């Protein structure tokens, strides 16, 4: 049986394995890491987007509050002057 080194840990492995260039341990590790990264992949950009958009949303809410306050106080003083 032909032998080669595991591309990750350098252990001697048989070329005939189904995991290609890696020994069975490293192949299992790589598989679980891939699964983890696939699980985290949709969450991380979403979180980054949320946190990047948060100050803008807060700013927009503050501006809206000020606008509503100014509008109400203006119409109130208009009512009071009548
Ligand atoms: Zn290995």
High-pLDDT (> 70) share of the chain, % = 93
CA gap 1, 15 in Å, rounded: 8
Measured in Å, residue 33 CA sits from the centre of ligand 1 at: 14
pLDDT tens string 4-36: 888 899 998 877 656 578 888 999 998 998 888
**Average pLDDT of 45-72?**
84
DSSP string over 6-42: -TTT--EEETT-TTTTS-HHHHHHHHHHHHHHHHHTT
Measured in Å, residue 2 CA sits from the centre of ligand 1 at: 16
Measured in Å, residue 21 CA sits from the centre of ligand 1 at: 9
CA gap 12, 23 in Å, rounded: 8
Mean pLDDT across the chain: 82
Measured in Å, residue 1 CA sits from the centre of ligand 1 at: 18
Measured in Å, residue 15 CA sits from the centre of ligand 1 at: 12
């Amino acid at each position: 049986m032909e032998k080669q080194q595991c591309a990750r840990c350098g252990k001697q492995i048989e070329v005939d394995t189904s995991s290609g260039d890696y020994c069975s341990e490293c192949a299992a590790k790589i598989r679980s890491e891939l699964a983890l990264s696939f699980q985290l992949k949709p969450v991380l950009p979403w979180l980054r987007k949320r946190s990047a958009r948060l100050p803008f949303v807060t700013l927009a809410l503050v501006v809206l509050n000020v606008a509503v306050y100014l509008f109400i106080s203006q119409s109130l003083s208009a009512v009071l002057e009548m």
